[in-house]
Chains A and B, each alone.
Chain A
Amino acid sequence: MIKTSSAKADFTVVESLQEIRGLIEADDHLRARVRELMQGEHLLDEANINQCLWLILDGVVRLTKYDAEKEGVMRFDAVGPGELIGILTYFTGESSFFGAEAETNCRVFGLPWSDFAVLPASQPRLHSLIEQCIRDSFSRRYRRLVELHMDKQRLTDSLKRERSELQQTVQALEQAHERLRSQEKLALLGSVLPGIAHELNNPAAALVRTADYLDPVLQETFAELDQRSESLVFWQAGVQAPIADSRAQRQQMQQLEKRLPEVPRAMLRRLTAMPTDLVEQLLSDFSESRLQSAVRAFEAGRLLHTLRTAGRRIARLVESLKRYARSDKATAGKVDLSVNLRDTLLILASRLRNTTVNTEIGNTPTVHGNEDEFNQIWTNLICNAVDAMEGGGELTISTRAVANREGKPGVQVMIADCGPGIPAALRDKIFAPNYTTKGRGGDFGLGLGLHIARTIVEEYGGTIRCEDNPPKGTCFYVWLPKET
């Protein structure tokens, strides 16, 4: 930034400076006005009154200015032989605008005002040479001012550019960070899932086993209880009978209330859960005590039934969880897409609570791939569909053995929703990374879902595309080649 003006001194300056030196040397009075400066010695102090016009004969003088912000002195220029220092203050009498000190050892010629006034008469040649120096100095200073302005503008521009680039970089970094965090979270989830599944599996197994052990114990107990074995019959009915639906229960309740107005409703409620033939058997020879023991036996059966059903349900969920998050991610092998899809559906059951799911998942040939990765595809496609339908709607999932255009055998999975659909113009973009219609910030709104799906599908030589699902909605087709 800081250039030495003397570097630009042209030939005429050198020549006239040579002449000035000669003229000074030849005159005792003038020679007495030459001052030797040692390196670092001050010539002018900022804000002091300047008495002389200084002409540099040899060496370099640096110009300094006090910077209030930095609380220090800043070197803003350096001038060499032929340059004048203190022109303005010399003529105006104002205090010095900057400071000057010797950067190297220097020789300067100082001309007090009284001398300058008589110079035209006493030394006309020197006067005109100095005047020439003043004019040169002013013109150089003006050119430099313009250059500085331009430099400043260029700097401001590049600063602005850099700032906006920086902003973009920061934004991109933030996005990447968010993406990483979400991937990390998913990876963490994937790594802890098998452990959780294992932990859940033990109590689930204990539940199921306990129900199984309890079964013969209670069976014997009820068999011994009464000679007619009626308790046994009611207990077995409780274990086996499916739970009556709420409508049938209500109807049954109304009828029973009419037939047995003297029996407490809480007791009748238990009867509504029983198969009707058993209820009739009880009512044919009605007695309070018979009713009570029958209800007790049936109730015991029902409790065991629920225990077992709930335990098995947990065990099934755990099984799916384990398959869903298997840790051996790298291995690829035979995958039965129907099992794979059903696992995903079971895992996503809570998200699909308000959606009607139609499945036509039949037996299809196995394909080559990795169950976890395929799960990810179905999860992404199904979650997108559910989001598009705002949680409700109708989802259709089907599998079918079909050959692709080249006649290669494979399996096509179709996932169709009845959401608002995807405009044709966007159908290519949706598979690009970072394409999302969901608000930023959410863990699953990063716009990576379909990109990941496509990457996985293509890894196993398959294709993914989407079409309209008339009259309304979108239909995704994933085709994967048959395992060979």
Chain B
Amino acid sequence: MESSLSIICLEDEPEVLEAILRDLAPFEERFRIEPAASAQEAREIITSLEEANGQLALILCDHVMPGENGIHFLGSLISSESPVLQDTRKILLTGQAGHEDTIEAINEGGIHHYLTKPWDADTLLAAVRKQLTRYIILRNINPLPYMQLLDAQALAEHMHDKNLFSEG
């Protein structure tokens, strides 16, 4: 099945999670979007992806949550050898963008992109599109099915560099 690429949305507030899912609806076409309300739940999803030989393309993650916070959760994934998590892109979406949190997110959480709440849909979609494009390139996944949804130009350049275009 081509749609074995997943996106996890981790957010503890149901209303906010719902809003994120609503914004990410265009990506449902090619990616399996998995909502999670806690770090624990997100781990369960990763485990089930392992069982299904899935791949996690992106985690969109809140920072301030009861129990384990977002940066800690993302940081804990860095050392993982799980095939599910290879090259997984990480976006932190947070309302408390303190200076120290930001530094920690980059240094300890291995964050690829940082978004602040409240977000606007265009910014969120652009960030997600960019990270997913990067993921497709890094994993050497056939980009053709993703051309319309993601950054077509970047994908085409990648194909050209890799000589993925067939002659003629």
B36 in contact with A350 (CB, 8 Å): no
Q: Closest Cβ of chain A: how far from B108's Cβ, in Å?
A: 15
A306 in contact with B19 (CB, 8 Å): yes
A269 in contact with B15 (CB, 8 Å): no
Q: Closest Cβ of chain A: how far from B102's Cβ, in Å?
A: 17
Q: Given the complex of chains A and B, what is the CA–CA distance between A245 and B36 in angstroms?
A: 9
Chain B neighbourhood of A340, CB < 8 A: none
A354 in contact with B36 (CB, 8 Å): no
Is B164's beta carbon under 8 Å from chain A?
no
A245 in contact with B37 (CB, 8 Å): yes
B34 in contact with A265 (CB, 8 Å): no
Q: Closest Cβ of chain A: how far from B57's Cβ, in Å?
A: 15
Return the CB mask of A259-285 against B: 1 if under 8 Å, else 0: 000001110010001000000000000
A350 in contact with B64 (CB, 8 Å): yes
Of A133-141, A146-154, A246-254, A473-481, the one touching chain B: A246-254
A353 in contact with B65 (CB, 8 Å): yes
Q: Given the complex of chains A and B, what is the CA–CA distance between A270 and B36 in angstroms?
A: 16
B67 in contact with A354 (CB, 8 Å): yes
Is A118's beta carbon under 8 Å from chain B?
no
**Can you list 18 A-B contacts with CB-CB less than 8 angstroms, sorted by A residue number?**
A243-B18, A245-B14, A246-B35, A246-B37, A246-B41, A247-B41, A250-B34, A265-B33, A266-B28, A266-B29, A302-B18, A306-B18, A306-B19, A309-B15, A310-B15, A350-B64, A350-B96, A353-B66
Chain A neighbourhood of B26, CB < 8 A: 266
The listed residue (A245, A247, A264, A354) touching B28 by CB distance below 8 A is A264
B14 in contact with A353 (CB, 8 Å): no
A243 in contact with B35 (CB, 8 Å): no
Is B69's beta carbon under 8 Å from chain A?
yes
Return the CB mask of B1-38 against A: 1 if under 8 Å, else 0: 00000000000001101110100011011001111110
Chain A, residue nearest B21 (CB): A269
B37 in contact with A269 (CB, 8 Å): no
Given contacts A353-B64, A354-B67, contact A266 B25 (CB under 8 A): yes
Chain B, residue nearest A245 (CB): B37
Given contacts A350-B64, A353-B64, A354-B66, contact A243 B15 (CB under 8 A): yes
Top 3 nearest A-B pairs (CB, nearest first) are A265-B28, A243-B14, A266-B28
B15 in contact with A306 (CB, 8 Å): yes
B67 in contact with A269 (CB, 8 Å): no
Q: Given the complex of chains A and B, what is the CA–CA distance between A327 and B33 in angstroms?
A: 49
Q: Closest Cβ of chain B: how far from A392's Cβ, in Å?
A: 8
Q: Given the complex of chains A and B, what is the CA–CA distance between A269 and B32 in angstroms?
A: 10
B64 in contact with A250 (CB, 8 Å): no
Q: Given the complex of chains A and B, what is the CA–CA distance between A269 and B65 in angstroms?
A: 24
The listed residue (B15, B36, B96) touching A246 by CB distance below 8 A is B36
Residues of B within 8 A of A (CB): 14-15, 17-19, 21, 25-26, 28-29, 32-37, 41, 45, 64-67, 69, 96
Return the CB mask of A297-317 against B: 1 if under 8 Å, else 0: 000001000100110000000
Q: Given the complex of chains A and B, what is the CA–CA distance between A273 and B32 in angstroms?
A: 16
Chain A neighbourhood of B34, CB < 8 A: 250
Q: Given the complex of chains A and B, what is the CA–CA distance between A344 and B123 in angstroms?
A: 36
Q: Closest Cβ of chain B: how far from A467's Cβ, in Å?
A: 28
- CB proximity to B under 8 Å, residues A173-200: none
Q: Given the complex of chains A and B, what is the CA–CA distance between A353 and B37 in angstroms?
A: 14
Chain A neighbourhood of B64, CB < 8 A: 350, 353
Known: A265-B32, A353-B65. 16 other contacts (CB 8 A): A245-B14, A246-B36, A250-B34, A250-B35, A264-B29, A265-B28, A265-B29, A265-B33, A266-B28, A266-B29, A269-B21, A350-B64, A353-B69, A354-B65, A354-B66, A354-B67
Q: Closest Cβ of chain B: how far from A53's Cβ, in Å?
A: 81
Chain A neighbourhood of B29, CB < 8 A: 264-266
Q: Closest Cβ of chain B: how far from A353's Cβ, in Å?
A: 5
A265, A273, A306: most-surrounded residue (chain B CB, <10 A): A265
Q: Given the complex of chains A and B, what is the CA–CA distance between A354 and B36 in angstroms?
A: 17
Q: Given the complex of chains A and B, what is the CA–CA distance between A350 and B96 in angstroms?
A: 10
- CB proximity to B under 8 Å, residues A219-266: 243, 245-247, 249-250, 264-266
